[in-house]
Amino acid sequence: MSREKVAVVTGKDLCYLDDTDGANVLVKNFAEHVIKNEGLDVDIYTPCGYSGHQFVDLKAQSQSEENIEISPGITVKRFPVPRVVTPNYENQGLELLNRVNISMGEAVYFEDGKLFDYLRIHIIHMAHSFGLVLGDIVPIERTIVHPMMLGTEYKNFSEVSQSYIDIEKAVFRKQILVQTPSIAESETLISDYSVSPEKIIITPRGFNPEALTIRQRTLPPIQNRKVRILCANMVRPQKGQKYFIDFAKECKKNNLPVLISLVGVNGTSYSPAYNKYSREIFDEIEKENLWDSFDFLKPRSQQELDKIMLNSDVAFYPSVFETFGKSPLESMATGLPTIVCDDVPAFREFIKDEETGILTSRNSQAMVESLKRLLYKPSLYTDISKNGISKGAEFFWENVLSRMILDTNNKISDVLST
């Protein structure tokens, strides 16, 4: 058996721009770290055409090349999946069951046992674990699931079928290793899924100082111009961008002109629910005559995002739920003063109010007051920028991934020894 490679199974294609999100950033940095520090090649398996619980024709058309070596030792392997029935359920809570069906189809490609030839197998998102783990198509003792978002976490902002959660629980009953980015999610794994703490690896998300520019900031003059606010999260219900509607209205009442740049709005994602959410935002802005307060940007590469961040005054993330918060971390770590809502536990693992960022209650008046705290106290703005950079250094991918791989290998050794 060859033990010279690590496998990653993910629904995101590193070569497809619309797949740009936290999962892709994790996979890219992880693969580069494994090559550099472990001397192991990485094969990244991604299904042709599928994103989430939908088949996307545009994505499939872009994946004509089966294997792409994106850098020495890192290969994206696109594999075929039998077209499975994915009904458009009237009950949104049933939609996640389509992910189970697709996962079973994905498992067909791996039935020859190819994943047993790898040193480790990392499954990115629960959606890709069902067929592989429940079908015994991976070596359980060397496989790590990165849930990304659990069914009981989805329930914070959408309906979820109990059947989906029960299938997730069946995966964890296999005693598989689980990597989570936050203490908050580890507590969910223990309380909602009865996962043993010994099976959990807690490692935060990271930040790449070579991809984004770090710059300590002082408050620029804001007289006679709009305050430039960035939200770099992809637009979807859990990210809470609808809260910007009332926030923008409240800013107008306070004679505080703002321009809120939303990155990742195109209304043509794989998810009907995400597209519906985008359209509802557009409709509300039209209804409230707020177009002058918003700038809608399509998904951007990290290089493009870097330029936008450098031209922003403040970052603001009104997420309803996060397992960690990649985008707020990146904003904080680059020195861009960042506002987040105080009811998301994972944010508190790196944002401390008036020290590394601003915590606000989830209502428009409190949000505007939080912005004013930054804009009308230049010393606070500067201190938060400086402290955010210092705190961000704790999350450099090099440090984060070294810890994750060390902890993972130790867990695997413990399993194999028993």
Tell me which residue of 297, 282, 277 sits closest to 236, measured CA to CA. 277
CATH of the domain at 298: 3.40.50.2000
Q: Are residues 163 and 108 in the same domain?
A: yes
The stretch 270-289 carries a mean pLDDT of 89
Does residue 130 form part of some domain? yes
Higher pLDDT, 271 or 77: 77
Quick check: 318 pLDDT over 70? yes
Q: Are residues 258 and 316 in the same domain?
A: yes
Q: Are residues 200 and 281 in the same domain?
A: no
Residue 8, CA atoms < 13 Å, CB-side half-sphere: 28
Tell me which residue of 323, 348, 95 sits closest to 189, measured CA to CA. 323
Tell me which residue of 54, 156, 59 sits closest to 98, measured CA to CA. 54
Q: Are residues 407 and 291 in the same domain?
A: no
Tell me which residue of 19, 16, 11, 43 sits closest to 30, measured CA to CA. 43
Quick check: 118 pLDDT over 60? yes
Q: Are residues 335 and 265 in the same domain?
A: yes
- Among all chains, which residue has been given the structure tokens 């603001």? 316
Does residue 83 form part of some domain? yes
Q: Are residues 307 and 191 in the same domain?
A: no
Does residue 242 form part of some domain? yes
The amino acid at 23: A
- pLDDT one-digit tens code per residue, 172-204: 999 999 999 999 999 999 999 999 999 999 999
Identify the band that residue 90 occupies on the pLDDT scale cut at 50, 70 and 90: low
Q: Are residues 363 and 407 in the same domain?
A: no
Q: What distance in Å separates the CA atoms of residue 417 and residue 414, rounded to the nearest whole number?
A: 5
Tell me which residue of 150, 94, 92 sits closest to 126, measured CA to CA. 150
Q: Are residues 81 and 153 in the same domain?
A: yes
Cβ neighbours around 165 below 10 Å, total: 18
Q: What distance in Å separates the CA atoms of residue 29 and residue 210, rounded to the nearest whole number?
A: 11
Starting at the edge strand that comes first in sequence, how are the strands of the sheet with 338-341 ordered? 294-297, 258-263, 227-231, 314-317, 338-341, 358-360
Number of compact structural domains in the chain? 2
First vs last Cα of the chain: how many Å apart? Answer: 21
Identify the band that residue 1 occupies on the pLDDT scale cut at 50, 70 and 90: very low
Record the tokens describing residue 412, joined without a space: 């695997």
User: What pLDDT is stored for residue 85 in this prediction?
Assistant: 63
User: What pLDDT is stored for residue 162 in this prediction?
Assistant: 95
Q: Are residues 270 and 144 in the same domain?
A: no
User: What pLDDT is stored for residue 14 in this prediction?
Assistant: 80
Full domain range(s) for residue 51: 5-206+396-413
Does residue 163 form part of some domain? yes
Does residue 262 form part of some domain? yes
DSSP E strands in 62-168: the ranges are 67-71, 74-79, 120-124, 143-146
Does residue 353 form part of some domain? yes
Q: Are residues 366 and 401 in the same domain?
A: no
Q: Are residues 290 and 329 in the same domain?
A: yes
User: What pLDDT is stored for residue 268 in this prediction?
Assistant: 65
Q: What distance in Å separates the CA atoms of residue 82 and residue 359, rounded to the nearest whole number?
A: 46
Does residue 147 form part of some domain? yes
Does residue 260 form part of some domain? yes
Q: Are residues 244 and 146 in the same domain?
A: no
Record the tokens describing residue 302, joined without a space: 């990290």
Quick check: 110 pLDDT over 80? yes
- pLDDT one-digit tens code per residue, 359-387: 999 999 999 999 999 999 999 999 999 99
